[in-house]
Amino acid sequence: MKHALVVLALLAASPALAQRMRPADVDKLPSSTPTLTEAYGPAPAQIGDLRLPAGPGPHPVVIVIHGGCWWKGFATRQNTAALASRLTEKGFATWNIEYRQAGETGPDGKYTGDPGAGWPGTFKDWAAATDHLRDLAKRYPLDLTRVAVTGHSAGAHAALWVASRAKLPKDSEIASPDPLKIGAVVAIDGPGDPGAEIETFEKGCGVPAGTAMFGGTPAEQPQRWAEGSPQKQLPFGFKSGLVSASLFLSPTATAKWVTEARLGKDRSSALILGGTGHFEVIAPGSPVWSQVEAFLVEQLKVDK
């Protein structure tokens, strides 16, 4: 296939199947009770759920980041609770995080997002939640030499950004002085280079998500969009996996990521799923879940 893309699965496309699940359907899926729900910052949205697998540990850890167009009211960490629960069953400790989400100012002058969301606040939330694992590891059996991250939709971009942030310029507004080391990342149907995909992304979201998140368009804020683009930080020095259901991560964009990652000597693989919806890929029990789960479990393993 073009771009030397490794395709682990390719299902025949069927429009009748697309988008049969909605966010609320995924929210209602069974999930396990977290071992701990804890704040990683002072804002109400700066919170996460830690789930521990059976056994004494120390356990490999997966940070899980929900989507929702970075937009307040679209999704919460409940949307990835079933995903986190299933990964915990597979032997990973999971840290399913919430974060501040943007919005817009209406005609009445009221802002609909979380205070401080967007640039740089939301990025700093993802960073702070990740680095909070150091504190959690003092109290729970977590193996910080085996930390991976995954996310869905806009959370896929967040996961890739968390994986890439060690490559940021030290003077960046969203850089961290000592970022926790990440060893693997999987993006589930979300953009690695949001600036290149912003028209498709905002059309799918139905809101000006990019402008709200970055404080302007790519033309207006080129440095912000560059620093917020994980793809522009390649190579990472560890493996990346991508799951495409074609809504917010097209096969073409997937191929471009894998090609660029491999040119930088990173290992990168993809799971291309046609004929499925954007939410089936994070829904245990869906027709495609067994393939997604197998891909996640393999790709999220961190090499020692």
Condensed to tens digits (0 to 9), the pLDDT of residues 29-64 reads 999 999 999 999 999 999 999 999 999 999 999 999
**Residue at 203 is within a domain:** yes
The H or E element spanning position 159 is helix 154-164
**Residue at 285 is within a domain:** yes
pLDDT digits (tens, 9 = 90+) for 181-219: 999 999 999 999 999 988 888 998 999 999 999 999 999
Residues 6+ apart with CB under 8 A from 281: 152, 188, 189, 243, 245, 273, 288, 289, 292
**Residue at 87 is within a domain:** yes
Lowest mean pLDDT among 17-26, 83-92, 235-244, 252-261: 17-26
**Residue at 239 is within a domain:** yes
Residues 6+ apart with CB under 8 A from 141: 52, 56, 57, 58, 59, 93
| Rounded Cα gap, residues 190 and 197, in angstroms | 10
What confidence category does residue 165 fall into, taking pLDDT thresholds of 50, 70 and 90?
very high
The H or E element spanning position 51 is strand 47-51
8-state DSSP, 34: P
**Residue at 52 is within a domain:** yes
**Residue at 277 is within a domain:** yes
**Prediction pTM value:** 0.93
3-class secondary structure per residue, 220-254 = CCHHHHHHCCHHHHCCCCCEEEEEECCCCCCHHHH
Domain count of the chain? Answer: 1
Output the domain CATH number for residue 230. Answer: 3.40.50.1820
Cβ 190 vs Cβ 240: under 8 Å: no
**Residue at 304 is within a domain:** no
Report the SS3 class of residue 186: strand
Domain that holds residue 249: 2-299
